[in-house]
Amino acid sequence: MDRNISLKTKLEETSAENIKSGNSSFYQIDNPQPFLEWLVLNNYSLHGSARKIEGKLIPKEAIDLIKESGNRKAVYMTINPLLAMFTALTGGAKVGERRSQCFLEINNNQLSYPRKPDFAVALPEAIANEGYIYVFDRKTQVDEEIAGELLSYKAILPLLVIRINKSQFNYPINKLDTIS
C-alpha cells in the first residue's frame, strides 16, 4: 500500500495529466525520463510500444535476430528508461531493423548511463510521433529475468500507461547504415 501511495504522490509531483481515451486512460508528463528513472529505482518495469494497447498485454513471440534469451512467447519488459522510450517510438512501428546500445548502471540507488546511448532504425521516417510506456510491478508481474530482459509468460495488466512524444526523447535515432 505504501508503494502505491508513493506512486500516486510521485505522479502528482510531476503534474502528470490523466487523459481518458476510449475504455482506458494514460498519463502525459512534460518530462517523462526522470519519472521513468524513479519508477525503475522503485522496482517497476517498463514496456514500450508505438501501439496503444487497452487492457492486458498479451505474451507474443519475439522475432529478434539476436536475443540471448531466445525468442520466447512473453511480454518483454526492461528497467532501462531510455530503451523503453526508444521502443515506445519504434516498437510496433514499421521501422524495419532496430538497434539500441544503451547501457544502464544502478549504484547506491542512483541511475546512470556510463556510455553515450546509440539508437538506430532502418527507416527513421517511420518512427512514431508518439508512443506508450506500460508500467508493471517488477516484484509481482515479472516471471523471469534473462540477460537483462524481464519476461512475463502470462497476460498482464499495466499499473499505468504513460504517453510520450517523439520530441521528449532526447537522443537521436539514426539511420542504420549511417552509424560508424
Q: What is the pLDDT of residue 178?
A: 52
Q: What's the CA gap between 137 and 116, in Å, rounded?
A: 28
Which among 120, 112, 122, 46 is positioned nearest to 79, based on CA atoms? 46
Query: For each successive 10 residues of the chain (180 residues), what is the average pLDDT?
Result: 74 92 89 96 96 94 61 91 97 91 94 95 96 96 91 96 97 80
pTM over 0.75: yes
Which among 26, 78, 81, 35 is positioned nearest to 55, based on CA atoms? 26
CB of 24 closer than 8 Å to CB of 56 = no
Q: What is the pLDDT of residue 179?
A: 47
Q: What's the CA gap between 65 and 37, in Å, rounded?
A: 28
CB of 127 closer than 8 Å to CB of 173 = yes
CB of 167 closer than 8 Å to CB of 129 = no
Number of Cβ within 10 Å of residue 82's Cβ equals 22
Q: What is the pLDDT of residue 24?
A: 82
